[in-house]
Amino acid sequence: MADQNIVLAGEAKDLGLAVMLKDLLDQNLVQNPHKLHDFRQLNIGFALIVTDAELELTMVFKGGNLTIHAGVHPRAKVQIAIETEMVLAMSNLQIKNGLPYYFDETGREVLKAIFTRKLKIRGLLRHFPSMVRLSRVLSIH
């Protein structure tokens, strides 16, 4: 891996989702070095609240590093309430012209989740560029 550092803090080491996100990001950044620019530009916390699993974690990006914490961290500027099935769908979003693509099956599934409130993003409009960067970094495409 290049010079980024992704760590699991404290109890996050015991959360399967936190371990999965760390592995996904490690792999994405090694296999797709062009994603490093977006990763390094992120300087924000994203809380992930998995509603049907009663699980909370926060990804805090700062200076090309990421620390994943258990629970909702005070640095979380964006809160993403999501059901388990949508976590993988989010990582499967296609990226076209630098933006998430919602006009294929996976994209329509994500849009449907937004409209049916299975996916809620608090802080999206205020932190839209950061949310787009996160989407590009997490996408396996």
Report pLDDT digits (tens) over 2-40: 456 999 999 999 999 999 999 999 999 999 999 999 999
Backbone φ/ψ region at 4: left (φ over 0), alpha (ψ -120 to 50), beta: beta
Query: Could you tell me the residue ranges of all domains in the chain?
Result: 5-138
Q: Contact at 8 Å (CB) between 90 and 135?
A: yes
User: 65-70 and 55-62: which strand pairing?
Assistant: antiparallel
Length of the chain: 141
Secondary structure class of 47 (helix, strand, coil): strand
HSE-up (13 A, CA, CB side) for residue 17: 22
CATH number of 5-138: 3.30.1050.10
Closest CA to 2 of 46, 33, 45: 33
H-assigned helices in the chain: 16-31, 36-41, 84-91, 105-115, 128-138
Instruction: List the pLDDT tens digit at each of the 141 positions of the chain.
Output: 445 699 999 999 999 999 999 999 999 999 999 999 999 999 999 999 999 999 999 999 999 999 999 999 988 999 999 988 888 888 899 999 999 999 999 999 999 999 998 899 999 999 999 999 999 999 988
Q: What's this model's pTM, rounded to 2 decimal places? A: 0.91
Tokens of 43: 């300087």
Q: What is the spatial distance between Cα 105 and Cα 126, in angstroms, rounded to a whole number?
A: 27
How are beta strands 55-62 and 94-96 bridged, if at all?
unpaired
The helix/strand/coil state of 91 is: helix
